[in-house]
Amino acid sequence: MQYRIRRRLQGLMLTILVCTLSAQGQIVTEPAAERLPPQLSDVGIEQRLNQQLPLDLTFKDEAGNPVPLRKYFQPGKPVVLSFVYFTCPMLCSEVLSSMAGALRFVKFDAGREFQVLTVSIDPRDTPQTASAAKHKYLAIYGHPGADAGWHFLTGDNRAITQLANAAGFHYRWDAHSKQFAHAAGIMLVTPDGRIAKYYYGARYIPSDLRLGLIEASENRIGTAADQIVLYCYHWDPRTGRYGAIVSRVIQVSGGLTLLILCGLLWFLFRSYPTRTAPTSPPRNASTKNASATPEPLGNAIRRLS
């Protein structure tokens, strides 16, 4: 009996110790990349910031027309780039739905302030499947005129591989599952075709996309308020999110406080002056008062006589 109690106490103490060490982050776990199956070791998204994309590659649009990639890169208009395949059963739909939903709440319009390119990594995809995907996700996006701003492209294996490698998007065909193994993420590209930012996962924040578009456009879109926000926030390439710079937030807050105080003092000075200039009575009023003064009695008697 005592042996069982001792064993249970030892097990309880060991459990508490393990939980404590885990909470303090002292247990070293094997990196996620090392736990991946060997066939997925080279699948992922590699950051290649400022990498120039090969804009001379040719793809097919939703109507089946051959188009050079350069056609979609215009001065002042950044590009949102995504790699998917249109027969993907799950992950690609999550990426495109989340991207369309996030861009829906961005006050820029695809085709006017920026372009969107969705490129299939499956050379078996056709313009027909691309057209069906475009119809589906434009309905989620919901901005008028987006048909001319969001393009779904298909191409041959050579063009797809060159573009994906330049962007750092690594994928692999899995013959067992008959699917492509790939990571989830989208990219922002400058108007001249250089990689500007990576957004990881299948959930995107509208404010992050808006600020990223402003930066990628070299501040050619957006408002003065956006520039203030960009001054206070910086892009963290490790997390794929914008984060506040405390020192800049303090500077901006101090400047706004000083501006408000100066405005308040100016208002008080104008509304309640400390000195007033002496005023003279109106000329008509002085004349009226003079005529109303009683005439001396002696003058009145002499006048009557």
Mean pLDDT of 98-120: 96
Residue 149 scores a pLDDT above 50: yes
pTM: 0.65
Beta carbons of 60 and 74 less than 8 angstroms apart: no
Q: Are strands 44-45 and 172-174 parallel, antiparallel or unpaired?
A: unpaired
Provide the number of structural domains found in the chain: 2
Residue numbers of the domain that contains 123:
39-219
Residue 96 scores a pLDDT above 80: yes
Q: What is the pLDDT of residue 42?
A: 82
Query: How many Å apart are CA 36 and CA 32, to the nearest integer?
Result: 7
Q: What share of the chain is helix, strand, coil (3-state, %, to 5)?
A: 45, 20, 35
Beta carbons of 112 and 220 less than 8 angstroms apart: no
Same domain assignment for residues 202 and 240: no
- The token pair that represents 22 in the structure block: 């885990």
Q: What is the pLDDT of residue 270?
A: 72
CB-CB neighbours of 55 under 10 Å: 16
Q: What is the pLDDT of residue 305?
A: 53
Same domain assignment for residues 189 and 258: no
Residue 205 scores a pLDDT above 60: yes
What type of residue sits at position 39? Q
Same domain assignment for residues 198 and 151: yes
pLDDT greater at residue 13 or residue 133 = 133
Q: Which of 188, 219, 250 represents a domain boundary (last residue)? A: 219
Q: Specify if 179 maps to a domain.
A: yes
Lowest average pLDDT, out of 25-39, 91-105, 173-187, goes to 25-39
Q: Specify if 293 maps to a domain.
A: no
Beta carbons of 233 and 217 less than 8 angstroms apart: no
- The proportion of the chain whose per-residue pLDDT surpasses 90, expressed as a percent, equals 52
Same domain assignment for residues 93 and 227: no
